[in-house]
């Protein structure tokens, strides 16, 4: 089962994908998010191109666990995306995924200027790997609610 993960930001969407076994996540690409309709089309293209069975989207909850403005903006994007995708969309808590992605890039020796171009796709891979691991452990997807 192939899973695509999205880290939806204000300007970019980081994208990661699992292999067919659904065990490992890897960064795929970053899509610009200047206009939601163009970004939705980009995601739809990737879902079809990679024969994806499920999409996981990180919801940026606040440290308290509450939804803030950014989480509401991501949910608004998801509503537009849901109308176009032929596969289920799962929402997961993505707190700290960007910080974890930056840490991973630093550990791998990626120079600071290059981290910015990679961080969104790596954050999506962090979100996806967390989801895949939890699904394997629990037998069901972790969700935000």
pLDDT tens across 14-31, in order? 999 998 888 899 999 999
Q: What is the pLDDT of residue 113?
A: 66
Cα 93 from Cα 1, distance rounded (Å): 21
C-alpha gyration radius of the chain = 14
- Within the chain, strands assigned E span 3-8, 12-18, 25-32, 54-59, 89-93
Give the DSSP letter of residue 83: T
Q: What is the pLDDT of residue 28?
A: 95
Paired tokens of 100 = 């974890």
| Coil, strand or helix at 114 | helix
pLDDT tens across 76-134, in order? 999 999 999 999 999 988 877 777 776 776 777 776 766 666 788 888 998 999 899 88
| Coil, strand or helix at 141 | coil
Question: How far, in Å, are 28, 44, 82, 102, 129 from residue 70 at the CA level?
Answer: 23, 22, 18, 20, 22
Higher pLDDT, 39 or 141: 39
Give the DSSP letter of residue 51: T
- The percent of residues above 70 in pLDDT, for the chain, comes to 90
At residue 133's C-alpha, the angle toward residues 131 and 135, to 5°, is: 65
Whether the predicted pLDDT of 67 surpasses 50: yes
pLDDT tens across 105-117, in order? 677 777 676 666 6
Query: Which secondary-structure segment (H or E) carries 23?
Result: none
CATH number of 3-138: 3.30.420.140
Q: What is the pLDDT of residue 16?
A: 96
Paired tokens of 137 = 């452990």
Which sign does the torsion angle of CA 57, 60, 66, 68 carry?
Answer: negative
pLDDT tens across 31-40, in order? 999 999 999 9
Q: What is the pLDDT of residue 8?
A: 94
Mean pLDDT of 48-74: 90
Q: What is the pLDDT of residue 145?
A: 41
Mean pLDDT of 68-72: 89
Paired tokens of 107 = 């550990």
Cα 101 from Cα 88, distance rounded (Å): 25
């Amino acid at each position: 089962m192939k899973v695509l993960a999205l880290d939806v930001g204000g300007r970019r969407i980081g994208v990661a994908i699992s292999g067919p076994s659904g065990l490992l996540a890897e960064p795929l690409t970053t899509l610009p998010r200047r206009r939601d309709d163009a970004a939705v089309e980009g995601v739809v293209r990737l879902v079809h191109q990679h024969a994806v069975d499920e999409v996981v989207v990180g919801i940026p909850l606040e440290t308290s666990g509450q939804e803030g403005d950014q989480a509401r903006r991501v949910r608004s994007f998801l509503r537009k995306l849901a109308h176009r995708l032929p596969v289920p969309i799962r929402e997961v808590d993505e707190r700290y995924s960007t910080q974890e992605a930056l840490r991973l890039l630093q550990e791998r020796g990626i120079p600071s200027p290059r981290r910015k171009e990679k961080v969104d796709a790596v954050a999506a891979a962090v979100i996806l790997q967390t989801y895949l691991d939890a699904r394997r452990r629990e037998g069901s997807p972790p969700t935000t609610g």
